[in-house]
Amino acid sequence: MAEAKTLLRALAGETLPTPPIWIMRQAGRYLPEYRETRAQAGDFLSLCYNSDLATEVTLQPIRRYGFDAAILFADILLVPQALGADLWFVTGEGPRLSTITRQAEFDALKPAAEIHETLSPIYQTVRNLSGELPGDVALIGFAGAPWTVATYMIAGQGTPDQGPAHALKDENRPLFEALLERLTEATIEYLSAQIDAGAECVKLFDSWAGSLQGADFEAYATAPARRIIAELKSRHDNVPVIAFPRQAGAAYTGFHAATGADCVALDESVTPEWAAANVQVNGCVQGNLANTHMVTGGEALVTETRRIVEAFSGGPHVFNLGHGITPDADPDNVQRMIDAVRGG
């Protein structure tokens, strides 16, 4: 059945008459059924670590929309928690972590090989999904890329410009690089375990890659992705990997070859026409409808969706948003987008 899954066919380089479609954060707060399950769980982290409920919210958008892929419901900050960082969520504000800005704080982290006990419920969710998804729906595992996860660990929260991480990089390069090394090792372990549990492909989210420039982009976005992908493919018979160096701009060009990624996901800051000429020529691309269309809807949503499908029609393409769907999105607009992609 795997051969028939359109997502895996696109990731393998096949140009399909209709691109497979899924959306980032497709299991989330814009869906009333998700909000009900979240309330049942009690809080966000409890939902992530409850395998039965995490399975349920992952399946909800598949039931509602018939997406071609499901992505594991979890969070990129579970890895730092498994390494020993304190993690909690503040309602209306987002995640908070204990910080890593001094050597003693780094020294208190666990080795990468010791993350699995904490993360075992996540692997159980993957096993559940592997058995419960429809036969034509692919299962995507994921993790945050080391740079992006490090920005949260260094600042203790999300920041507008990743300033604290850049400051540590400039002021204490050995500590900064030691943290990225630990995160790279942990990410390999985490994604490898997801694949063992049944994930058919994985995605590496580098949401803040765009704040790295020049040599720093190569050293802290490209190089870790290359190492993670190479190790995963070595362990797992060339499992497909989607890489998302968000807001990379011109650095999207050549990212397939530089990292070994099977697919490069694009944000909406680049046009599909530019990306077709400069990125898709090297392999499958994913994207890149602006997520604001899921809020505003209307004819602009349909027109832009069709434009993206047409621009990428000459090569392998996975239709998606340029970033995650937001809580204020209208679920009906998601269906309109799907209909436009599939010719409705």
Domain boundaries, the chain: 2-341
Quote the pLDDT of residue 91.
84
Of 181, 178, 183, 160, the residue nearest 168 (C-alpha): 178
To the query of whether residue 29 is one of the catalytic residues in this protein, the response is yes
To the query of whether residue 336 is one of the catalytic residues in this protein, the response is no
pTM over 0.95, yes/no: yes
Q: How many CA atoms lie within 13 A of 180 on its CB side?
A: 26
Quote the pLDDT of residue 1.
47
The CA distance from 205 to 276, in Å, is 21
Of 216, 209, 294, the residue nearest 247 (C-alpha): 209
Quote the pLDDT of residue 2.
53
To the query of whether residue 25 is one of the catalytic residues in this protein, the response is yes
Helix (H, G, I), strand (E, B) or coil at 94: strand
Which candidate in 9, 25, 182, 227 is catalytic? Answer: 25
Residues 6+ away with beta carbon under 8 Å from 257? 282
- The whole-number mean pLDDT for each consecutive block of 10 residues of the chain, a chain of 344 residues, reads 83 98 97 97 96 98 98 98 96 93 98 98 98 98 98 97 98 98 98 98 98 97 98 96 98 98 98 98 98 98 98 98 98 98 88
E strand or H helix at 288: strand 284-289
Structure tokens at 261: 């990624």
Which candidate in 9, 38, 182, 227 is catalytic? Answer: 38
E strand or H helix at 291: none
To the query of whether residue 38 is one of the catalytic residues in this protein, the response is yes
To the query of whether residue 75 is one of the catalytic residues in this protein, the response is yes
Q: 74, 141 in Cβ contact below 8 A?
A: no
Which candidate in 30, 34, 65, 152 is catalytic? Answer: 152
Which candidate in 75, 136, 216, 330 is catalytic? Answer: 75
CATH match of 2-341 with 3.40.50.720: no
